[in-house]
Structure 1
Amino acid sequence: QGMNFVAGTLLLFMEEEDAFWCLTSIIENLMPGYYSLAMMAPQVDQRVFHRLIVQHFPTLATHLESLCVDASCVTSHWFLCLFVNALPLETCLRVWDVFFLERDAAVLFRVGLALVDIFSKALMRTVDGVDAMCQLQATAPMMFDGSRLMTTACIGFQDISRDILLHYRQEVKEEVFGGVKARIDAMDSAHDLEAYHYEEERFREMVDGESDFNIRNYSRDLNANTSMRKSSGAPSLDAAGEVSGPGV
């Protein structure tokens, strides 16, 4: 599920006990519901990430949809492994620095969107589904410029916050819960059903801890943040689906 990559990376820099407690904090506090039987949290977050791609890159999203490309086949690995074994190690550690500093999964969404942004021109040039999937898979391993990635993520997508994620998670959670429960019911396993109800309860507690947040304020500010991304020098996708910005 990705824990082995995370644990292995922690052991490169920590003693075993410190790595254990750090991994425990990631599983229980930073990424709750990710490394579990039903894996509800990653399924919910991939739907949220898809919404964010559609919102920030509508032209690219339409292009990928026309090629029948499901980006979650690639991006789910980014989140489960915290970008380990996806990004080059040095770049990945830059992501981890911010992730542990902010203690917020929103960092992973910003980095994911930044990768899509930086490589969107190449993705727009793809002509079929296989070509698009290969290009999407190649985005993270080619991201050797950690400074460019984190500048794009932290400045260009600073509007992606915990409140926004909670709002979108609430909107898609029932669809995920229903699908997971249907699969477990088909298995006719009392143990799995009990585990499902436990995970569902925990995940609902996490998602339903919604702060006062007005999604209309976020939508209203989206264009302003896009302009900020352009003025900061971070690459961005224009209306024609082309990437603009320095170094592109």
Structure 2
Amino acid sequence: MTNGSSPSRPSSYHLSPPTSPRGSLSTSTSLSQRKSIRELPPLPSQHRSTTPPGTPPSTLSPDFLEAVPPPPPKSQRSPSLSRTSYTSHISQESLKSAPLSPSASVSSPPLKHRPQSLNNILDAGSPSSQGKSKVSLVPSEGEDLDAFHVRNTYAQLDMSGVKGDGYTEGVERTRARIGDSRVSQANAAAAIGDGTEKQGDLDPREVEVLSSIDRYGFFITPNHERLVLLPSLPFKQKLTNVSTGPPNAPTTGTSLRSLPPPQPPIKELSRIGKWERMLRPQKPQPGGNPEGWYIKPTKEGKLLERVYKGIPDRWRSVAWEILMSRFTSKAIREKGLGIEEVRNMNLDVLREDYLDGMEKPSSYDIQIDLDVPRTISGHVLFKTRYGAGQRSLFHVLHSFSLRCSTCGYVQGMGPLAATLLCYLPPDQVYASLVRLHDHYDLHTIFSPGFPGLLEAIYVQERLTQQMMPGVYKAFQDQTVSTTSYATKWYITCFANSVPFQTQLRVWDVFLAEGGDVFVVLAVGIVWVFRDQITSSSANFETILSLLSSFFVPEDENALMSWVGKVMTDSTIRGNMRRWREEWKELVKNGKDATALL
């Protein structure tokens, strides 16, 4: 680029890792204009742009979105062909160009053009990455017209995309209808994508946004009430029964004025190299992307240890898929389920389910649409109304709401899907939610009455009583129920209780070890604040306020090391299994109502 010229988008600038089969297939097919349905303005003609096959690897972060051609009609579609929009996180390192070697320099050049990783996800609205949804363009028999308007709006915008995706607010079309005035109609029509904006120079507003995002794609630090430091010293103490703290201990933790920015993990480049050497590709595809990955047999003994130390962002999408596949297979064996369940958990089968669900109405569509724009605030992927991220989130939650008639859709599913979308393509996010629902027992968390939540709380209380009898007595004396502060921890898998970077590390371990991780983390938070809880000045309000805070670890490694120590304690894990069985007996005998604080 010459001096004084506008920033440009070189087609050769890629940051996609060898993390999953993400070949950049392309077509050159045009879409005809479609008539407006209700308030949605008509869509302009579109042309699919082409993307060179294959992408070179990056050092630190996966690409956001790769375009693939739409699927054929279901009657012609093979199980392995799916409509996919590959998504992953944006990191500050996404603005850097570095070779694969873990010893590579990561000096950051001035931002001159949008990283290809971000180009890919913002191009998701173009026809090159979305198949045509014919069924969603007409209402189903008996479908609520407002719900159809929602579903139809997302279907139409899948074909065109929206302008300014990732750096403008967008135009509301469903929660509040487009007005009848010429100005409203003109603004709505102008916001529909035309397929050319990603081919020209960067808009100055886009440059400004991309220059300010952090390594995870947040351009605004989320605001949280009651930011409290989670000190590291208690995590370094032995796992023994502890007595009450000093009677004059303070009743509050150390408050923070703002959430500190995420810091690069310790030894990140070194750990990237270790994971690279530990992983092996399966069936390389044209373009260099493998069909999948597996752990090198000689490194099996290192896997869990490295998970606890933190999976490098560059390898997180690969690692999560491996961990979920392993845990699911183990759960199927332990439950004595047959080959049919193995087949049902196959990624190709689940991708087909996802696509089929997109063409069906859901009674939850209106509520899902209300929740989509407020699921993750301040993240570039979900910033623009009806942008690629919001559309992907809607489609995933829509299809998943049809999966289980008992659970349907609940708000807690949104943060789970949104976090997964930061690393995985939508169809794989759907598959992940199914695995979490069926074999990580999130079905019991989301079912009416939240039976799995109550079981987890029972185990948490028993472990608290065993490790901190003084704290348990303080809860009894002050009538503090565990459900009053811990419910949101379990419903969202700690998505809104710790910083995003900490949440990712917790999820790394959760996907490897299962739901006991959340119970141990909950006990760990109480462990840190045991002196405040048992203080002579403590009361119901001070305890509940403290435990309802947003917790910022002083040292993430100390926190995860403590969780690891508890999880590897055979006595504690054995007790946790016994307590889960105890709870099931209490429920069976109708004695569960009085079993919790």
Q: In the alignment, which of 82, 88, 91 is matched to residue 493 of structure 2?
A: 82
Shift of 1:175: 3.2
Q: Which amino acid aligns with 1:78?
A: W
Matching residue of 1:154: 564
Task: Map 1:15-94; keep pairs closer than 5 Å.
Answer: 15-31=425-441, 32-94=443-505
Matching residue of 1:165: 576
Measured in 1, the distance between the counterparts of 2:592 and 2:528 equals: 37
Shift of 1:181: 11
Measured in 1, the distance between the counterparts of 2:487 and 2:447 equals: 15
Residue 14 (str. 1) matches residue 420 (str. 2): no
Q: 1:38 to 1:133 in 2, by over 3 A?
A: closer
Q: Which amino acid aligns with 2:469?
A: P
Cα contact 2:445–2:452 (8 A) shared by 1: yes
Per-residue CA shift, 1:113-164, capped at 9, x if unaligned?
21111222232335210111001112x5233532121111111453242x43
Q: Which amino acid aligns with 1:62?
A: K
Q: Which has the higher contact order (CA 8 A, sep 6+)?
A: 1
Matching residue of 1:106: 516
Compute the TM-score of the two structures, normalised by the length of structure 2: 0.28
Q: Greater share of helix residues, 1 or 2?
A: 1
Matching residue of 1:222: none
Measured in 1, the distance between the counterparts of 2:527 and 2:567 equals: 10
Per-residue CA shift, 1:221-243, capped at 9, x if unaligned?
xxxxxxxxxxxxxxxxxxxxxxx
Q: 1:72 to 1:6 in 2, by over 3 A?
A: same
Q: Which amino acid aligns with 2:555?
A: D
Cα contact 2:478–2:539 (8 A) shared by 1: yes
Cα contact 2:460–2:520 (8 A) shared by 1: no
Measured in 1, the distance between the counterparts of 2:459 and 2:526 equals: 15
Cα contact 1:113–1:157 (8 A) shared by 2: no
Measured in 1, the distance between the counterparts of 2:559 and 2:493 equals: 15
SS in 2 for 1:141: strand
Task: Map 1:129-140; keep pairs closer than 5 Å.
Answer: 129-138=540-549, 140=550
Measured in 2, the distance between the counterparts of 1:84 and 1:123 equals: 24
Give structure 2 stretches of 5+ with no counterpart. Answer: 1-409
Compute the TM-score of the two structures, normalised by the length of structure 1: 0.65
Cα contact 1:44–1:169 (8 A) shared by 2: yes
Larger Rg: 2
Cα contact 2:499–2:552 (8 A) shared by 1: yes
Q: Which amino acid aligns with 2:515?
A: A
Moved over 6 A (4+): none
Measured in 2, the distance between the counterparts of 1:181 and 1:38 equals: 13
Cα RMSD of the aligned pairs, angstroms, is 2.4
Measured in 1, the distance between the counterparts of 2:503 and 2:478 equals: 29
Q: Which amino acid aligns with 1:66?
A: D
Cα contact 2:416–2:495 (8 A) shared by 1: yes
Per-residue CA shift, 1:37-59, capped at 9, x if unaligned?
24222112211211111111101
Shift of 1:176: 3.4
Q: 1:179 to 1:74 in 2, by over 3 A?
A: farther
Q: 1:143 to 1:177 in 2, by over 3 A?
A: farther
Q: 1:117 to 1:4 in 2, by over 3 A?
A: same
Q: Which amino acid aligns with 2:565?
A: I
Shift of 1:89: 0.9
Per-residue CA shift, 1:181-213, capped at 9, x if unaligned?
99xxxxxxxxxxxxxxxxxxxxxxxxxxxxxxx
